[in-house]
Structure 1
Amino acid sequence: MRTFTLGLMFLLTFPAAAAPPAGEMALIERGRYLLEIGGCHDCHTPGYTMQGGNAPKDAWLTGDRLGWQGAWGTTYAPNLRLRLNDMDLSTWVAFARTMKSRPPMPYWALNRMSETDLSAIWHVVKWLGKAGDPAPAALPAGAAAAGPVVRFPEPPPSAKTSRPD
């Protein structure tokens, strides 16, 4: 009986330790699926691609120090767990709908997601909680990166046309 009482006291004291309600868990599972098939982990989870998609959950979406370098300069995948955990759902949806980002982030895909899908992504990131450190700041073209980078070649002239919306 003492063990039961202590367990109950723990759950009442620390409700975050309990599983989320079924409806929220469904959103979290949908968000996990979207992050996986959307390629979000490829850049925003350190080592994810090199580990064949088997990065530990505590590293998910914590940003990366690997730079992406091209004619635009050098960008770093930000720590989404820090960024999204500082936003409420409506702020996140507005941000996702209007953000414009430097390559290689396919911001147009995020801009076009349904509100339901954006909500699912927000819920999984909230469920994961804050973790990690901010990613390095983007660098302008010509600035030397301190760490490793993936270099993109200059696109051929035929590929420099604007994308239709």
Structure 2
Amino acid sequence: MKHIFKLSEELLEKLSSVMAAALLIVGMNACQPSTEVKEQPPLTGEALIKRGEYLINAGACGDCHSPKIMTETGPIPDPDRLLSGHPKDEILPPIVNTSDWILFSTGVTSFVGPWGQSFAANLTPHATGIGNWTFEHFKTAIRKGKYKGLEGSRNLVPPMPWQFYSHISDDDLYALFAYLKSIKPVDNQVPAYISPENLSLNTVQNAE
């Protein structure tokens, strides 16, 4: 009987040790930071627009798409014409040579290179901008690089880096679109793109 009782005590000691170790492991795991990623609810309203504004500024979209005003620290986007594209009434100087350089207008809204001459688009919600666009138009323009977001239209030309922007998530694309639809509409019909062939003809005529 004593032998059995002694054996039971030894067994209890071992069981206690095992349980203590198990509790220690459970406690340590409980203290570890959770690696579970909690899904965030989609942004809406003002938060969505603020997210879009942040992305526009982070992507420096206004550097090309906004006319500039000169300040003591240099040119900055004109807040009254924010994201309205190349000004329709801006007279550009003659283009003398296009073969060896990529040219930028002083307002950084018109560009000349091997692709021809391009003009920064009006991104405001005016009819001359993206006022009539749906989100699907915007998505097609950014994801597929299609002019006016229309399937079958010409490709967007440099310096628009749509190939890089095409990887933006749907949520961020929607935030961008929401912000652009919320800003001041500006009536500005941007000049039409000029192909390399037509640009070469104009260059020759100007040189003469």
User: Match for residue 118 of structure 1?
Assistant: 173
TM norm structure 1: 0.65
- Mapped contact 1:48–1:55 kept (Cα < 8 A): yes
Question: Structure 1 49/84 Cα, relative in aligned 2: closer, same or farther at 3 Å?
Answer: farther
- Mapped contact 2:68–2:78 kept (Cα < 8 A): no
User: Match for residue 59 of structure 1?
Assistant: 81
Give the Cα separation in 2 of the matches to 1:54 and 1:92: 26
SS of 1:69's partner is: strand
Verify: 1:68 aligned to 2:68, yes or no.
Answer: no
**118-127 or 133-142, larger mean C-alpha shift:** 133-142
Question: Structure 1 74/104 Cα, relative in aligned 2: closer, same or farther at 3 Å?
Answer: same
Percent sequence identity over matched residues? 28
TM norm structure 2: 0.52
User: Match for residue 87 of structure 1?
Assistant: 133
Select the structure of larger CA radius of gyration.
2
Larger RCO (alpha carbons 8 Å, 6+ apart): 1
SS of 1:42's partner is: helix
| Cα displacement string for residues 67-126 of structure 1 (whole angstroms, at most 9, x for unaligned residues) | 200111110001011432211223322332111411111011222211111111111111
SS of 1:133's partner is: coil
Give the Cα separation in 1 of the matches to 2:170 and 2:176: 10
User: Match for residue 130 of structure 1?
Assistant: 185
User: Match for residue 95 of structure 2?
Assistant: none
Question: Structure 1 59/104 Cα, relative in aligned 2: closer, same or farther at 3 Å?
Answer: same
